[in-house]
Each structure stands twice: as C-alpha cells, then as structure tokens.
Structure 1
Amino acid sequence: MTLRKTTENKVAQDLDIPVISIRRLLSGETTDPRISTLKAIADYFKVNIDQLISMNSETAHFGVMTQTKPLFIPVLDWDSAKSIDSIDLGQWPEWIPVTIGKNETIGNRAFALESRPSMYPRFQQGTIFIIDPTLTAMDGDLVLIKLRENNDLTLRELFIDPPQWQLQPLHQGSEMLKFSKEEHEILGVVFLTLFYNRKMRPLHTEV
C-alpha cells in the first residue's frame, strides 16, 4: 500500500473495518464494494472517491475500478446539475455503480441524471444518463443544455448541418432549438444510458 506508507492491518485497525474486507477490496476480489467502505478509505487517505479510483488504476495496489469493475458516479438532481462546476463531488452523498469497457475512459467530473417524465416514451421512467462534461459534442450526440436566459436544463439530440447546429427535442411536443453560444451552454455529453424497470435508488455514502 504505497499511497501512504502503511499496511492493510493498520488501515483496518484505524477504520475499524475487518482486515479481510480491506484485503478483498484492495486486491480487487470484491467487485461491488459498499460505497460507505470506499468513502471511509478515501477519507483515510485524504482524497475523494474519484481520486481513490484513479490511484487504484495507476498503481495497481487497489483492484477496485480496473477493467470492467464498477466506477462510482455521483447522482445529481436536475437543479444541482445547473451548478455542477461549483459542487464538490467528493462530498456528494448519492452515487451509482457504472461498468464501462476496459478500453473506455470517462472524465472525473462525470455525473448521472435520472430521466424526466416528459422524456417518455423515448426513455422509460428511471432511465439514467451518465453525462461527461469533458467530451466534445458530435453530430448525433445527446447533450445536456443550459438555457442562459433562465438557467433551465434540457436534454437534446444534436444534429450538425454546417454551419447550423440543431438541438432536437426528445419528444414532439417541444420546438427545435438552433444552438447559439450566446443563448445555450453545453454542460456535457451523454456517455452512457442505463435502463431500469423502476425508479432508480442510488447508493448513499453513509450507512
């Protein structure tokens, strides 16, 4: 455990967590760890969960979050997402495990949003969008748009027909928008869509 010159036994003792749990987590044997345990370890090393995940991948001293093991993404509500840049995601209470391919990467500011009822029938209630603010929007992407006039958020499908960028609605009841940097801000691109048969229940960092 080179992140901080210590041992599994010392970490287990300091955190009052069984050493076998620490060992399984750090070795990667546990592929779906408790979020509260991850948070406790992150706090112990004075990093947030995203930084802990990055350290795991880079040092190979932690088996969590490598290859197809789950990433933990913060789940925001639509109001919180309006001010994503000012949120300390390391202290956010609600997270969801997400599995991506071993050759895929996702930005450390990625977050999740649950679908709105108005997105039905294209997206069932409980659909989760994983949004990455670091991705460059491309033709055909689903993008999260902030309307500068009132700070409202809308999820739109981007169609690029140079020189115009069109923001198509997800249902026929809304009008198409012509993208303008003066009127619209792209907060992120949908990296992954998760479909659930019922309302999603995110994990909490506290027991």
Structure 2
Amino acid sequence: MYSEVIENPTLILKRLLAIYEVTPAELARKIGVHRATMLRIINGDIKKIKEEYFKSIAEYFSLTIDQIKGLKPIYWENIKGVLNLQVGRRIPIYSWQLDGNKLVPEIMDRTELTTLTDIEVSDNAFSLIIKDSIMEPLFPKGTIIICDPIKEVTNDAYVVVKLHNYNQLILRQILIDIDYKYLKALNKTLNASMRIMTPKDKILGVVVQSKYDFH
C-alpha cells in the first residue's frame, strides 16, 4: 500500500541532529553505521535508504520508523524548544520587510496572521515565518519562530536583527567575543560569511521557541 510522505526524511534527520546537538559522525558511531554512509544519508545522496538504517535511527531518537521516513508526523511538542499547541496565546506574525523601522503584520486574504505560543513571553513578543534556507537545518523554510524583545541576549542565541543599511530583518546565531558580536548563518552549503555587528545594527528579539508543521 502506498503511503504519502509528509516530509523528506533527510530534512527530518537534519532537524533532529540540530535539535539534539548531535553531529553526523556521533550518530554514525552510536548506531554502528559507517560515517561516510551517514553523511550520504544526511546529504540525500542515497535514494533508497536501507530499512536497518531507518530502524537504528528511529531507536536512537525514540521515534518510529514511519516517523523517520516521514510517513507519520513527529510530535515535536515532546522535543525541547518546539511548540506544544495544547495551550497558549496568540502572537502576531510579522513580515521580514520593514516599513522604515516599523514591524509590518504578515497578511493573508486581508487577515493579519497570528500563531500560538505556550510559554511565557512579553507583551511585545512577535513571530516570523522562515522564508529561506540560510538557517537550515535548525530552521527550515516554513518554520515559525517566536521572538521576545526583552529576552537577554546570550552567546550562541538566535536573534532577529535589523541591519542599519538593510530594510529587511535577518535571523542569525550571535557569537559574543570580548569586544565584538558576530552574526552567523547555519547553512554551511551556502558559504555565508560571518558579519560583525556594528553599533548601528539593532537586535529586535531573541528566538525563544519555534514550530514546524510537517503536514
């Protein structure tokens, strides 16, 4: 019987590795798969992945084989940092494009979009929908990020930034040195260089939660 794939297994695996902070080499070692084979799986170079690999990966992440294959949804509410939609309050979704220095609501069918969060955030919290792949694998296209302007900015946090010479918001990981702050993209395949923050750049919020709908 044919089963519809909800999401690409490669993307699922990349996201799990990022959330659990496990490298491909570590996963390969722990489940007894050759490192080169694991890299080929993650890069999507193996068109037909062996069932035994699916089984080992599923057992490692305490998921089912069908969830790893993308045939069944993953209940991301059980994974740290991902939203539980059982309870919560609505947060406005904004556009990445600014109106001057003002945040602009994201609108669909003349309706301002909102999303739910189940954690405590300030009244000025906002959200954005990821539109590109520069922060994959942790934030693939379609991910909704919840941001809080009053959250303390710490090293390795994910921040939404308004660059002084750019009229769009960007999402980056911030690396804090003694004298400098660097903005880092996650997608290594794009070869995006790190940027040093200037005094004119402004952090508008820290990512406190994310959600990704695989349906």
TM-score normalised to structure 1 length: 0.52
Matched, 1:96 2:112: no
Equivalent pair of 2:98/2:104 in contact (CA under 8 Å):
no
Alignment of 1:122-201 (within 5 A): 122-172=138-188, 173-182=191-200, 184-198=201-215
Q: Secondary structure at the match of 1:117?
A: coil
Aligned residues: 122
Equivalent pair of 1:125/1:197 in contact (CA under 8 Å):
no
Alpha-carbon distance between aligned partners in 1 of 2:205 and 2:213, rounded to the nearest angstrom: 22
Q: CA distance change for structure 1 residues 146 and 82 in 2, over 3 Å: closer, same or farther?
A: farther
How far apart are 1:177 and its partner, in Å?
0.8
Residues 61-96 of structure 1: CA deviation (Å, up to 9, x unaligned): xxxxxxx83111011121158744687xxxx82211
Alignment of 1:1-207 (within 5 A): 69-80=87-98, 83-84=101-102, 93-100=112-119, 105-119=120-134, 120-172=136-188, 173-182=191-200, 184-198=201-215
How far apart are 1:124 and its partner, in Å?
2.3
Alpha-carbon distance between aligned partners in 1 of 2:99 and 2:178, rounded to the nearest angstrom: 29
Fraction of identical pairs, as percent? 27
Query: Could you say what the CA RMSD is over the residues aligned between the two structures, in angstroms?
Result: 2.4
Equivalent pair of 1:144/1:153 in contact (CA under 8 Å):
yes
**Which stretches in structure 2 are left out of the alignment for 5+ residues?**
1-85, 106-110
Equivalent pair of 1:72/1:98 in contact (CA under 8 Å):
yes
How far apart are 1:170 and its partner, in Å?
2.4
Amino acid at match of 2:128: L
**Which stretches in structure 1 are left out of the alignment for 5+ residues?**
1-67, 199-207
Equivalent pair of 1:71/1:97 in contact (CA under 8 Å):
yes
Q: Secondary structure at the match of 1:118?
A: coil
Alpha-carbon distance between aligned partners in 1 of 2:129 and 2:123, rounded to the nearest angstrom: 19
Equivalent pair of 2:94/2:104 in contact (CA under 8 Å):
no
Equivalent pair of 2:146/2:210 in contact (CA under 8 Å):
yes
Q: Partner of 1:49 in structure 2?
A: none
TM-score normalised to structure 2 length: 0.50
Q: CA distance change for structure 1 residues 190 and 84 in 2, over 3 Å: closer, same or farther?
A: farther
Equivalent pair of 2:95/2:104 in contact (CA under 8 Å):
no
Equivalent pair of 1:144/1:156 in contact (CA under 8 Å):
yes
Alpha-carbon distance between aligned partners in 2 of 1:113 and 1:79, rounded to the nearest angstrom: 11
